Amino acid sequence: MSDDDQNDSGDVNQDDMADEWAAAMEEAGEGGDGDGGVEDDWAAAMAEAGVSEEEEEPEPEPAGDPMPLQDFSAPEGPGDQPDLQVVLDIPVTMSMEVGQTSISIRNLLQLTQGSVIELDRLAGEPLDVLVNGTLIAHGEVVVVNEKFGIRMTDVISPQERIARLR
């Protein structure tokens, strides 16, 4: 590209570049022999750019330590408070887990009405309270206005929740 193809600020003149592309497209259309012309043009363009077909993309470097999570409890600067209002209306899924077990598909298919499945928890042991699959508390079942509820007996600290994610 010549110096007159660039304007005073160093940018390429758009009209000249468009003309070069149009000429290249015409040349590719007329010079095609019908048997892989596009592939030959691609290989020629790659060779002109200095890229060989054998070159592989570099492997991504393994990530080191994960980025530390921001502590929203402390102010970010003098007088700055993080705006938690942004996330307060985001819906999350909350579930209570009575217990778990593993059974084979054969036994699963044999279950009928009245079948009993033994869980890994003892009777009277607290339930797990999960938010989006992450344990946040333990609790016990209560009845409130003829509906089941859960009374929180132990809430997991934010530091412990973050430690469990690692």
What pLDDT, in 10s, does the model give residues 130-165? 988 888 999 999 999 999 899 999 999 888 888 877
Q: Is 107 exposed, middle or buried (0-12, 13-18, 19+ CB in 10 A)?
A: exposed
- Measured CA angle at 94 (ends 92, 95), to 5 deg: 150
Distance CA 151, CA 137 (A): 10
> Which residue, among 31, 28, 33, has the nearest Cα to 45 in the 3D structure?
28
pLDDT given for residue 70 in this prediction? 59
Distance CA 128, CA 130 (A): 6
30: helix, strand or coil: helix
Measure the CA dihedral 125/127/133/137, to 10°: -100
Domains along the chain with CATH numbers: 123-165 (2.30.330.10)
pLDDT given for residue 31 in this prediction? 47
The per-residue pLDDT for range 88-137, each reduced to its tens digit, is: 889 999 999 988 999 999 999 999 999 999 999 888 899 999 988 888 99
